[in-house]
Structures are given as structure tokens and as C-alpha cells.
Amino acid sequence: MGLVVVGASGRMGRSLIRAIDGIEGVHLAAAVERTGSDAIGRDAAELAGLPSSGVLVTDDALAAFAHAEGVVDFTAPEASLEFADLAAQARIVHVLGTTGMSSDCDARIKAAARHARIVKSGNMSLGVNLLSVLVRQAARALGPDWDIEVLEMHHKHKVDAPSGTALLLGQAAADGRGVDLEDASVRVRDGITGAREEGSIGFATLRGGSVVGEHSVLFAAEGEMVELRHEALDRSIFARGAVKAALWARHQKPGLYSMHDVLGLTASV
Ligand SMILES: NC(=O)C1=CN([C@@H]2O[C@H](COP(=O)(O)OP(=O)(O)OC[C@H]3O[C@@H](n4cnc5c(N)ncnc54)[C@H](O)[C@@H]3O)[C@@H](O)[C@H]2O)C=CC1
Ligand SMILES: O=C(O)C1=N[C@H](C(=O)O)C[C@H](O)C1
């Protein structure tokens, strides 16, 4: 399966190029960066620390998509919307890992998925997706007198908050409780906030250094606390998940899929 990596010189772009190189059944068909990037014209594999491949980074996404079967996209929300349209036109699989998408963006991705196979997730790792199943089960079992807080820490370059993973885990907790996350979530606390509102789902964001990604979901009650936690030690876990998603989506009908679909983690698990 020929895959295009968009955002090829980014942290995830380089990790994806290395993952594609090491996985049977896929090859790097093209590598795309934004117009004006220093990476344009450079060998994509060399950028990722591999021996040269002859695939030069381009800013012509349309031409790149024409000769591929899938695109893996960890870029930025506006760019991902554009790539969703181009992938739908080219009838290729779109694996979308970009976070920080607004509800408007999500609606446009849903519309594009009427004609395209899109796998979208705030976290492509097996560990976090399994964790989300456990969070949903815990939230259902523990009930509303257990306070739920989602805590995350990432590297200092991350531009969106809360992380896509924190929102995914918050959604799992809300699903387990049978509440609407929009109504229940408290994303920021500052000043005299008053006591914690019963049933709310809180978020706390930490940024610093080179942390790849740490997430905890805390369930706190009178006299006891349960913590469910995931730590990403290397970006290759997301890259390998994204490639797995592309290979899986190749055989699916048009639609918007999640990593739960790819990994077979259905609602009943
Ligand atoms: N879903 C998941 O499992 C994961 C999601 N992410 C998300 O992926 C995104 C990227 O993360 P990083 O790689 O750390 O960021 P980064 O800033 O290192 O890389 C983003 C790359 O996209 C490129 N880009 C931006 N607009 C573009 C355009 N129009 N055309 C082509 N390239 C364009 C940038 O030049 C940059 O090289 C973020 O939203 C992050 O939260 C990151 C890791 C895992
Ligand atoms: O920006 C990152 O780095 C990451 N982003 C994703 C998120 O927003 O949750 C996934 C991972 O935690 C790394």
C-alpha cells in the first residue's frame, strides 16, 4: 500500500516515515510539507534519519495523492481539512491524527467521510485505546459520587489543550456515566471557583520539556482514589497505529472510523 506522509518533517511525520520503512505491506509513496518549508526538495527518508529513498518532499499534495492509496496526516486542523477534501477526491484512505479540531472541523470531516474512508483518533496507540475502554467501564461501575479528573502532560511545543487523548478519555468517562461531555466538562479552574460541582469531569493540562505524552484518569471518592494511567515512551506507538489503521481502512466502505473500529475494541468490551 503506497502511503503519503503529510507534515513529513514534523515530529510525527519523521516517526511515520521510519514506521512505514519497517512495516511489511506499505511503502512511502510521497512526502508532503507546507509551502515554504525548508524540507521541500529534501530526501524524505534522510529527514527521518534513514538512508536516502529517492522520495523528495513536495508541497504538491494533489499530485502526491494521485499515485497513492492512503495518506497519514498528523499536521494542523486547517491543513487536515484540506487533506480530507483532497483524499476524498483521490478516493484514498485518510488516517487523521491531528488534534485541536473544533466542532466545525469535526462536522466537515464527517461530511467528507460520506465519500471517503477516514480513520480519526486523538490517539492511535493500542495502550490508550484499551485505557479508554477501562475508563468507560470504571465510570459506569463507580457512579456519580466518584469525582473524575483527566490529567495530561506533554512537551513544550504542543499547541492545543486539552490534548486529543484527554478529550477521548473524558468522552469515555462521560459515555460510561451516560452524560454529555460538553455539559459535564470543566476545562479550566482559576480563582474562587466554588466547590467542585457533583458529576463534573475536570481537565488539567501540564506542558514542559520533551514529554511524549502522559495521561491519567483519576476517580476520587471519600477516603479512596483509583488512577488509570498511560505513558507514551516513544512516538513510534502512534505511527505504528496509524499504519495499521491505513491497512485496515483499505478494505472498508466509505465512513468515519475510530481506532476502536481498527483494533476491534467494540462498545461491549
Ligand atoms: N492522534 C495521535 O495519535 C497523535 C496526534 N498528534 C497530533 O499530530 C499533530 C502534529 O504533531 P507533531 O508532529 O508533534 O507537530 P509538528 O509541529 O512537529 O509537525 C506538524 C507538521 O505539519 C506540517 N504542516 C502544517 N501545515 C501543513 C500543510 N498545509 N501542508 C503540509 N504540512 C503541513 C508542519 O510544517 C509540521 O512539519 C498535532 O495535532 C498532535 O497533537 C501527535 C501525536 C500522536
Ligand atoms: O501533540 C502530541 O505530541 C500528542 N498529541 C496527541 C494528543 O493531543 O493527545 C497524542 C499524544 O498524546 C501526543
As given in the structure block, the three cell numbers for residue 103 are 466542532
pLDDT at residue 263 greater than cutoff 90: yes
Assign domain 126-232 to a CATH class: alpha beta
> Rounded distance, CA 136 to CA 108, Å?
27
Query: Catalytic residue at 158?
Result: yes
ipTM of the complex: 0.99
DSSP 218: E
pLDDT in tens, 27-85: 999 999 999 999 999 999 999 999 999 999 999 999 999 999 999 999 999 999 999 99
Ligand 1 pocket residue status of 33, Cβ below 6 Å: yes
Q: Does domain 2-120+235-263 have CATH number 3.40.50.10490?
A: no
In the beta sheet, which residues pair with residue 31?
5, 57
pLDDT in tens, 206-245: 999 999 999 999 999 999 999 999 999 999 999 999 999 9
pLDDT in tens, 175-207: 999 999 999 999 999 999 999 999 999 999 999
Ligand 2 pocket residue status of 15, Cβ below 6 Å: no
Q: What percent of the chain has pLDDT over 70?
A: 99
Q: For residue 268, what pLDDT is reported?
A: 54
Neighbouring CB atoms inside 10 A of 94's CB total: 31
Of 27, 67, 156, 158, the catalytic one is 158
Q: What are the φ/ψ torsions at residue 89 (nearest 5 degrees)?
A: -60, -40
Domains of the chain, residue spans: 2-120+235-263, 126-232
